[in-house]
Structure 1
Amino acid sequence: MIVSNQNPETHLLEAAAIETIELPDGRLRYIDSLLTETDALSHALQNSLDWYQGDVYLFGRHYHTPRLQCWYGDKAYTYSKVRLEPTPWPPLLKQLKTIVEDVSGCPFNSVLGNWYQHGQHNMGMHADNEPELGSNPVVAMLTFGTARPLQFRHRNGVDRFTITPTDGSLLIMEGPIQHYWRHGINKSNKVTEQRISLTFRQILSE
């Protein structure tokens, strides 16, 4: 259910400036404050989506993800040997998807949500390069809540880059970046507040 004051359309920052960041073998586009007054939106996301602790398989071993997650979209998605089944779009996520599509100029049919409830919740270094995402996938990330550094590391072992997406920001990863770079969020003993990220993507095939 969407309450009128939680409608993301009313919280858009007019004429938001897009910063383009050129990296070796990849590109980012970043809007520091696409959405304003995000507390209501964050609260709605926390209470209306089906959050759960996911599973991953690394080097033949099973682990629970060190955060909560949810998956919504038109097609299934498989990563780390775990298949996420298609789930109908809730109205709020559908509205946010439309905003992200309008700003990025890219279509999306799925979204992976991650809820970091404190600083010990993290995301290991990885690339969104599964075959069903295509050759040069575009991944667009909305951030709600506390800002945490997003680390990028080039597979050449030398180049590194860090960006800290702020509350209400949009980060677009595009070009060949997923083939050459990995990204992740480290643990932090200093962080006590929550963060939600919604990463929109286009699944081309199952």
Structure 2
Amino acid sequence: MRILLGMTSSPRIKPSLASRTSLTKTPMSNETPAPQSLTEWAQSHFTALFEHNTTSASNDAQDDPTPDQSPSLDSQIQAMFSPNAQIFMNHTGPLSVGDFTKQMGQAFGTNQTSVEWKESFEVDDQAQDKTEEGKTGIFAGYLIVTRTLKFRIRAAPAKNYTTISLSAKIAHEPNSVTGSSGNGDDRRIVQLFYTSGVKAAPVHLQGIA
């Protein structure tokens, strides 16, 4: 007697989506990022400068009037200004970069600082060498810096508003020390006209009709 054995076929396994889909590799880019525009460079540096007292280490004392001379402030100034820059504050000067640093370091006891740019524009240097990276020229801007101070007035936080108008001439300095950002940008401010005025914010007392 012939016995016929049935052939059992193996189940057909469908390939998964992962096995059917080829893996795409993201190419590594070694391209150097494009330099900031003149306005971007100036606004980013001035914003960091005005906010230095909140981002750097501060004194724990509530009403300590010691100027903030942290390394952070010095490095920001070094990344912004030529050592021989001409600086005029409220049409007084020229001041040295060291004197300007002291003026900037006198904002103390601040819990929070906000910078609001109102207007700004740039004028490119038409005589700039075309082989140089990063536009140079003149940047002008108008902004308001709001500082919330550590001390309070009748339980309400004290604030002040600093209105600033500035005009900066920016040029390349190949021998300058690379700034704290480490991006190798050698642009520096060689002349600055800085006009400012401070006004205390009105105090709104709570619970008083």
Ranked by relative contact order (alpha carbons within 8 Å, sequence separation 6 or more), the top structure is: 1
Fold match by TM threshold 0.5: no
Could you state the TM-score of these two structures normalised by the residue count of structure 1?
A: 0.27
State which structure, 1 or 2, has the greater radius of gyration over its C-alpha atoms: 2
